């Protein structure tokens, strides 16, 4: 099973279970729009 299929299945399960909001994070080399916790974490990588 591919990661794409696993992710799609998970999203469908969350929605069918009543989840109102799903936030997906997309990695980006310059996290300027993220908060300080995420910015600090990215600098540590």
Q: Pick the catalytic residue: 9, 20, 30, 34?
A: 34
Q: Which residue has the tokens 């990661």?
A: 3
DSSP string, 1-45: --HHHHHHHHHHHHHHTT----------S--TTS-HHHHHHHHT-
Q: Pick the catalytic residue: 9, 20, 23, 30?
A: 23
Catalytic-residue membership of 9: no
**Catalytic site positions:** 23, 34
């Amino acid at each position: 099973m591919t990661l794409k299929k696993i992710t799609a299945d998970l999203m469908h399960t969350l929605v069918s279970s009543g989840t109102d909001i799903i936030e997906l994070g997309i990695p980006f080399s310059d996290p300027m729009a993220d908060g300080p916790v995420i910015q600090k974490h990215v600098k540590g990588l």
